Structure 1
Amino acid sequence: MDLKLSIAKLAMVALVVAAPAAEAALTCGMVASDIAPCLNYIQHGGTIPPKCCNGVKTLDDAADTTEDRRTACTCLKNLLSTNPGINLGLANSLPAKCGVSVPYPISPSTDCTKINK
């Protein structure tokens, strides 16, 4: 009985230790949430809200693998195409204005599959 209890405890510890590695990668929901405070700015211009730059930086920090960067790129392209009135110049310049370097242009024509770093 003690052996069964020890095996059960070991299995629980293994699940807890493995849990962080099993966390979901970047999703479009995460991208949309991070970028939502920027929508008014990239549609109308003006002053960039602090929450917008915080979201841009959060997104940049979360996109730490090639696959995450490709996902972020694809999600941003989808956001551009589903939100009318977005000023592409403002959208493309936003990362730099927030102090973030993005390895691809924020544009509906960007080929996200070619992002390698």
Structure 2
Amino acid sequence: MANVKLARGLVLFMAVAGALTSEALTCGQVASALGPCLTYLQGKAGNSPPAACCAGVGSLNSAAQTTPDRRTACQCLQSAAKDTNFNSNLAASLPGQCGVSIPYKISTSTNCNTIK
């Protein structure tokens, strides 16, 4: 059942990615980078994110250098959080756990349109 939700979430990422062709970063790229984080974000992988997850967080942060890219990443993360039942506390702490600083809180309540 959990694998079906994960697959559904990744399919959603891919569908949204097609609609965001004007920006360099896509939800497909976000999904690919953060795929190794899913088990951790659902609270099923221990107290710290796996190394592959942190590598993905770092590469996503490096890829999101423009305002449109950061907003896209935020929107994709919010969609994923709603579809795959992320633990909101784990999601919010993920960048810090991985030693990456991002300019906004990963949260479904973040207004992605205000991100610079």
CA distance in 1, matches of 2:72, 2:34: 14
Encode CA deviations 1:30-70: one digit per residue, 9 max, x unaligned.
00110110000111151311100000000000000011000
What does residue 51 of structure 2 align with?
A: 50
Larger Rg: 1
Is 1:72 the counterpart of 2:73? The answer is: yes
Structure 2: runs of 5+ lacking an equivalent: 1-22
Instruction: Using structure 1 for the length normalisation, give the TM-score.
Output: 0.75
Structure 1 letter corresponding to 2:53: C
CA distance in 2, matches of 1:113, 1:36: 24
Structure 1: runs of 5+ lacking an equivalent: 1-23
What does residue 99 of structure 2 align with?
A: 99
CA distance in 1, matches of 2:114, 2:49: 29
CA distance in 1, matches of 2:55, 2:31: 13
CA displacement at 1:100 relative to structure 2: 0.6
Encode CA deviations 1:62-105: one digit per residue, 9 max, x unaligned.
00001100000000000001102x21000110001111111111
Is 1:62 the counterpart of 2:63? The answer is: yes
Q: What do you get for the CA RMSD once the two structures are aligned?
A: 1.1
CA distance in 2, matches of 1:60, 1:99: 11
Instruction: Using structure 2 for the length normalisation, give the TM-score.
Output: 0.76
Is 1:114 the counterpart of 2:114? The answer is: yes
| Counterpart secondary structure, 1:55 | helix
Question: How many residues end up aligned between the 2 structures?
Answer: 92
CA displacement at 1:27 relative to structure 2: 0.1
CA distance in 2, matches of 1:63, 1:111: 17
Structure 1 letter corresponding to 2:105: P
